[in-house]
Amino acid sequence: MKKIISLLSVILVITASLAACQTEETTASPDTTAQIASAAATEAPASTTAATQAQAATTAASQTGTTLTQSAEVITTANVTSNGAIDASDLFSNRDLRQTADLSEAVYYDLSSGSDITITAEGVYVISGSAENASVIVDAGDNDKVQLVLNGVTITNGSTPAIYVKNADKVFVTTVENTVSSLTVSGTFTADGTTNTDAVIFAKDDIVLNGLGTLNISSTDNGISGKDDIKITGGTINITCTADAIEANESIAVADGNITINTDKDGLHAENDEDNTTGTIYICGGTFNITAGSDGIQGTTVVQIDGGSITTNSSEGIEATYVQINGGTVDITASDDGINGSRKSNAYNVTVEINGGDITVNMGQGDTDGIDSNGNFYINGGTVSVNANSPFDYDGEGQLNGGTVYVNGSKVTELTNQMMGGGMGGPGGMNGGMGGMNGGMMGGHGGF
């Protein structure tokens, strides 16, 4: 009997030990998992070890945020031209125009209040969640391209940008289809050392906004500010701000997108205080609805419109040293000048030139001009309709070489001039491209 009891005791001990082993395997801690992975890596060849460690790092980072399913590729077509004041043939790269991100090696982050996300290397980063007083900061290498994929984020800050690009070659801000991202700065912006970070999205380097989702921006100062080039190729962007909605030192270029702006200052503004040969705005697509306290669109050197649909209600509609409209639909309601060519740069002769498109200018009462050029004025094509007490005012020569022109509802075949002593401008012999001395300033900026 004692032998039987001893045998049963041994069986019970073995059974308990097996059960304990099974429990330990089922509830292995992350530390244990990491140790196993480390051991496996130690036994692997050097090349395999590097690949495994890189994959493990990506996987670990991915588990910290909300993941996404890869979307089908969507690419916008940019209807650019090469024979305008701006040679736009190489302005947009294929990646600029791609509205969906390649998520195969994406890193995922969820926002947390009071905590910044700092990105220091090239790659695709998916940002999700909501937070207060948190910034997404890009401080990468000079040759690094960083893509921020906004997966329905909400950031509300008191004094700092929601997205701050300190350093990179180029940063893409891409909105995910069927999502709405909202970025707000509600207080007074504080400087970052000597850098006046005065916009909800503030970039010291090139930035591209694209995607298939919606991006709402609310600011007590500027909406989007870029110290180099800003490109928009897709997405829905709504900006409410007190200063410039979209401003760049070098250039603004738009290929597509639905952009609604409500601002106390300028809708689009391109200007470099230290170099008046830059500051161009190029539009070949997209839909704009701009309500602005000052200018709807203002560039230092050239504003060129090749396509798109633009509706602006502002003090002045479009202003630059050289305004060239080659296509698209432009509907301006203004209380000062509808289209204004004024001396802001020495790189171009002051010119307003219309070669195509459908342009409507409705002016308020008083001393206002529908189209005002402090230099030359040419209509070579398109349909132009001006409703104003003073439809045209030009200081240089004026030529009506083609197109269809209506003044206060009546078709005209020659240009009247509000400028005293200017006389009338009849049909002329010159056609197109007469304002530029340094054409193609923006060409060649579209590198991958």
Judge whether residue 346 has pLDDT over 90.
yes
Q: Which of 78-82, 233-237, 397-401 has the lowest mean pLDDT?
A: 78-82
Residue 172, in any domain of the structure? no
Which helix (H) or strand (E) segment holds residue 290: the answer is: strand 280-292
Residue 287: is its pLDDT beyond 50?
yes
64 confidence band (pLDDT: 50, 70, 90): low
Asked whether the predicted pLDDT for residue 245 surpasses 50, the reply is yes
299 Cβ contact list (under 8 Å, min separation 6): 252, 268, 269, 270, 271, 279, 280, 281, 319, 320, 321, 344
In a domain, 287, yes or no: yes
- 249-276 mean pLDDT: 97
Q: What is the CA radius of gyration of the chain?
A: 29
Residue 210 structure tokens: 């694209």
- pLDDT score for 251: 98
Identify which of 100, 96, 104 has the alpha carbon closest to the alpha carbon of residue 80: 96
pLDDT cut 90: percent of the chain above it: 77
Q: What is the pLDDT of residue 364?
A: 87
User: What residue numbers bound the domain in which 354 lies?
Assistant: 94-99+233-412
What is the residue-averaged pLDDT of the chain? 85
Query: What's the whole-number mean pLDDT along residues 83-103?
Result: 97
pLDDT score recorded for residue 216: 99
What is the predicted pLDDT for the residue at 23?
38
Is residue 147 a contact partner of residue 123, using CB atoms and an 8 Å limit?
Answer: yes
Token output for 236? 């829905």
pLDDT at position 424: 41
- How far, in Å, CA of 124 to CA of 105, rounded? 7
How far apart are the C-alpha atoms of 387 and 309, rounded to whole Å? 19
Q: Distance (Å, rounded) from C-alpha 27 to C-alpha 126?
A: 30
Coil/strand/helix, residue 106: coil
DSSP letter string, 212-256: SSEEEEEESSEEEEESSEEEE-SSEEEEEESS-SEEESSEEEESS
Q: Considering the domain boundaries, does residue 181 fall inside one? A: no
The pair of structure tokens assigned to 372 is: 């005002």
- Separation in Å, CA 190 to CA 195, 246, 255: 9, 19, 33
Instruction: Give this prediction's pTM.
Output: 0.82
Q: Is the pLDDT of residue 401 over 80?
A: yes
Query: pLDDT: is 283 or 44 the higher one?
Result: 283
Q: How far from chain centre, in Å, is Cα 383?
A: 30
Q: What is the pLDDT of residue 390?
A: 95
For the residues 324-341, what does the mean pLDDT come to?
97
pLDDT reported for residue 296: 98
Q: Select from 55, 91, 30 the least CA-distant residue to 446.
A: 91
Instruction: With respect to residue 307, please indicate whether it lies within any of the assigned structural domains.
Output: yes
Phi first, then psi, for residue 9 (nearest 5°) are -65, -40
* Amino acid in the structure at residue 68: L
Could you tell me the pLDDT band of residue 259, with boundaries at 50, 70 and 90? very high
Flag whether pLDDT at 388 surpasses 90. Answer: yes
- Of 38-52, 371-385, 415-429, highest mean pLDDT: 371-385
Query: Would you place residue 58 in the very low, low, confident or very high pLDDT band (cuts 50, 70, 90)?
Result: very low
The total of structural domains in the chain comes to: 1
Q: Using CA atoms, how far apart are residues 227 and 248, in angstroms rounded to an integer?
A: 6
Cβ-based neighbour number of residue 376 at 10 Å: 22
At 124, the amino acid letter reads V
Q: Contact at 8 Å (CB) between 414 and 198? A: no
pLDDT for res 34? 34
Interatomic CA distance for residues 157 and 190, integer angstroms:
11
Tell me, yes or no, whether 249 lies in a domain: yes
- 120-178 pLDDT, tens digit per residue, is 999 999 999 999 999 999 999 999 999 999 999 999 999 999 999 999 999 999 999 99
Burial track 403-421 (b if 16+ CB lie within 10 A, e otherwise): bebebeeeebeebbbbbee
> 136, 221, 213: which is closest to 186 by C-alpha?
221
The token duo for 318 is 């479009």
What would the mean pLDDT of 427-447 be, rounded to a whole number?
43
What is the largest distance, in Å, between two alpha-carbon atoms of the chain?
Answer: 131
pLDDT at 12: 46
Q: For tokens 């203004």, name the residue.
A: 334
CA 328 to centroid of chain Cα atoms: 20
- The answer on pLDDT for 28 being more than 60 is no
Mean pLDDT of 200-228: 98
Establish if 51 belongs to a structural domain. Answer: no
Q: What's the pLDDT score for residue 415?
A: 96
In a domain, 8, yes or no: no
Average pLDDT on 253-274 reads 97
Within-domain flag for 368? yes
Do 49 and 41 contact (CB within 8 A), yes or no? yes
Q: Note the pLDDT of residue 419.
A: 65
Q: Is it the case that residue 211 has pLDDT exceeding 90?
A: yes
